[in-house]
Each structure stands twice: as C-alpha cells, then as structure tokens.
A and B are shown apart, each in its own frame.
Chain A
Amino acid sequence: MIEASVIASPILGVVFCLLHVIVSLVHAWSHLVHQIQCLIISSGLLSKYQNINLNRLRHLAVVIDSEDAKNKSKVHQLLCWLSDIGVKYVILYDIEGVMKKSDKAYEKSSANPSETKCMDFAPNMPLIFDMFGMTVEIISYTDGKEAVAKGANYLCSNYLKNQDDTLNKLGPKFTEPDISSALKAVGHDGPEPDLLLVYGPARCHLGFPAWRLRYTEIVHMGPLTSMKLSAVVKVLYDFSKKHQNYGK
C-alpha cells in the first residue's frame, strides 16, 4: 500500500500540472484574442466604439488590488480616461484604504488643481471630491460591514427611544429602506454602481460594501499595470448592450 502511494503521488502530481498547463494555455489564448480586440478598438476602425451610449451607466465602481493602488500615476491615468469617456461618478475601492491616503496626490497631479476639491482624510468614512467634472468617491473595507454595524446602532438608538410605542412591543421591525436611511444618517449612503471593474489577479470584489452590490455587473480587467483604454471602452460598450430582468 505504501509502495502504491509512493508511485501514485508523483503520477498524480504530473497529471495535476498538465491540467494546469492546459488552463494556462486557454488563458493565454483568451488574452491574445483580447489583445487583438483592443488593438482593433484603439485603431478606430469600428465606429460603434467611438460613441458609446452611457445613459445607463450612472455610477461606475473600480476595485483595485491595494498593491496596484500604490501606483498613483496609474490610478490617476485611469481617472483621466474615465473622465474623457464621459463617466460622471466613479467609486474607487481598495481593501486597505491605500487610495484614501493618496487622495491629495490626485489633487496635486490634476492639470488644474482648482478643478479638484478634496475633503480631509478620515479612514472610516468615504472620501468624495470632484475631478475633471467627475465625482470621485474613495472607499475601503471599513466602509462595508462596519458601516452596516454603524447603521444598525443608529436604528437601535431610534428603536430604544420609541420604547413606549405599542408597535415596538412586538420587537424591532426594519425594512430595507430603513437600512438605507440609517446608512445615509451615518454617512455611508453612496450609490449602487451599475458596473464594477476589478483590477487585480482575481475576479473578486474584496469586501466592496455588500449593500451597494445588488445588481452590479462585475467585470475582471486584469492587473492595473497592464490596463488599456481600449479594454475600458470595450467593457463600457458591452455594458451599454446589457439587459437585466431584475428577477422577472
């Protein structure tokens, strides 16, 4: 039995590696096809990508891996592209709050600093400012579950204040609009993004506030270091053609 497992383990290991080589080859092929598509889009040959209808895109979110987010010039470049395309509201998220600490860098590197108005950095609160005519909101992990707990405490204090109310004798009863109002009262009432772009090694939202993700289309863009304008254009175009049933 021991001899069988000694023989079997390396064989299993080799087959395992082979399977992953196949997966890598498929990814390489997809990447190549994507690069060709981006090349065609950036050449301007396809007119459909020139004038994208952004009526349905009211709010765009971008989740960036915190290591990638330290590259301030890349983040700034991305914001410039989004502004040029016509996006009006961008939510930037990274799990560790790197971008919250860097907000002053975006102000200084803006072509016209007077176009950028910044609030002071507060680690547990969203940061909102205007940049190139576009509203930018910067959030991090603490704006997710902890914000919901803050909202719960707000509802709790209101509930306890109304202890004499007959309805409250049945126990607390909250609705989803109550939760939304509570989040607004505690300063965490940001809009739900229609589209979320993920820059990083994996398609994962990394703790983006759950309350704001209900019907958000989530697209993986790859590492921030290899971001392309044409890739962003393609995603926005595909989004403009999307149709949602909302459960119907």
Chain B
Amino acid sequence: MMEGRSAMESPVTRLPTRRRTKSYGRSCFEASSRFAYTSGQLTILRIPTTREAPRARNIAERVDPEQVTLLIKNEWKLSYVTPLYRFRHTHLKKYSKHLSAFIAAEKQQGTAVEVGLETGYRVTFSTVLGIAETDEDAETVFIQIQSKPMFAATGDALKVVWSGWLTCVNGSPEYLHSLLPDFVSLPLFCSSGPENITVVVKSWFEKMFDCRFGSLGLDSTSLQWLCALWTGCHPDNNIRYLRLLWTLPTQPPLDVSYTVNPQDAWELWNSVRQEDSVDGTVGIDEVKHFMAGLESHFFRHFKIYLSSGTLRKVSTALGSAQQDGKVKILCSDYLATVLTLLTECAILKMPI
C-alpha cells in the first residue's frame, strides 16, 4: 500500500544528475554517475492497473514435465529475496556440496536441525529451464534436500525432506536493468518443508550471496487479482468452485467462508468485463467491480459488509493463495500468470 502511494505520486521524469548511493570520500576520483537507479522503487515501481488475461498454455511444451510436477505439487511458503551477489547458474554443483556441508555443520551445532536418525543430507540444485518469460528473467533454480537414513540399504530411495525454488517471471524490466551485472535477481523464494531447514537454507544463502530474506504476504488486492484471474479461466479450465475466506473485525473475530458456484462466478465476472478490454487485458476496475458484486450479493442475504473485513484466502481448483503468503498451484497451465503476480509482489518489497 505504501509503495503504491509513493510510486504513483512520484514524478516520472527524474533529474539528469542522479544521486549516488554512497559518497563518503569527497575526494574520490571516479566518475560521478554511479548508481543510476538509486531512486529505487520510489520512482521505478508502480503497481500495475492492468494485467494480461490468463491464457491456458501447455507448459509441458517448454518445461520438463517432471520438473513441473515438482512445482505444482506442494503448498509453498513465500518469501522475497534481495538480489543475489555473484550467483552463477554454472556453479550449481558446488553449491549443492557446499549447502549439504553447511547443513551438516549446523546440525552438529545442535541448533538448527533436530538430531534424528539421519546422518546426512543430500542437496541438489537444478535449473528449471523455460519458466522465465523474458530475457531479463533469470532462470528458475530448484533446490531439493533429501535425507540419507543411517542404516539405509544401497537400493533405498532417498526421502525428500525439503524443497524450495527461486524464481523471477516477468520481473519489472526497469528494476532488473538497474541492477549491476554482479547481481542476479530471483526475488521470489518458495519453500516447503520443516521450518528449521528453511532457516538454515536461508542463512546459507545470506552468507554466500550477501542477500536477505523476508516473508512475503499477499495483501487483499493481490488476492482479489488472483480471484478474478482464476475465475476468468473457467471456460477453458473448470475451476469447480470459488472459495473465499474473510475475517471480520468483530469481537471475537468472525471468519466467513464464502463459496460460489463456478458458473455463477464466471457469469458475474463476464458481466463486469468491459467491452473495450477485448485485447486480452484485465483492469483493476473490473476486479474491484467483480469483488463488489460478490460482496453485495452476500450483503443481500446476510446483511454483512464483507468489505469491512480482510480477505484471507482465495481458492479454486486451479490453486489457492493465503494472506500469510502460502500458495498452492494446482494447474500448471496458468503458472506464468500466477508467478508474474507473485514476482511483482516480491519486487515491491525490495528495500531499494
């Protein structure tokens, strides 16, 4: 919300002379144009008011189907990551070894991972080619951690205990351009597995690539976008249900679960679609109208203003998303649409 305000009010044109990030020594001799982008998101980032309407695409044509199943299986906890310093996609093998050694060391300290039967972890870094949409997007990196039981026979399959991935889909080109070449921006981090391993992995990344993680929640505008975008997919891909969860600020708080018949939802959505938006874009006004329609319907029956509460969760058969940043993608056809939205949320969290 903050970012939105400052972004929209900020002047589009900036002064020709830009401020550097740091200029301690007044007698240093470099050229004066140092950080071309330091005005950061105060000027660059804007919350989009229109989005491309989702189009079903068979992602299996571009991405290895096995890898796709890895991405859509789990419920992911979202985080944002500041750009990684000197991350190389060509060093993934070394990173695998390094991270497993790091986890082992942390385990020995007895702080991070509970002492169980496992004696070791195997870490695999891999690139998921084809998720990236533009040339600026860095390729997605998938991390899987498997445990090696102590008394395993050689043929035993390893147990996957944790997985996570870093991605960037349709990241703001202005932002990505403004980074120095030493940095790789993979702003969205999704993790699934025990929290203590997540902590270790994050701290490894922070130590290796001098980045920082922060949790990424989804505000109600983002959830409303997802709600509208998924509903719009109904003709191509049956959403089966549209379930919304609100929490109303009563004492004690009142949770309202609101399930809408998919066909009704779609008809409502179709009715608020403006005629001039045939070029495949969706506007924020349409989304707001759609939500207002759903809310007024609810009011007519229960005399409760849902708009006074907060939207906490949206789910359909295509996927679900929660306010606290938990996301499940159940249909790979709309992966790009969802990830674009999430990447955008992550970039909006960047400190500079």
Mutual binders A and B: no
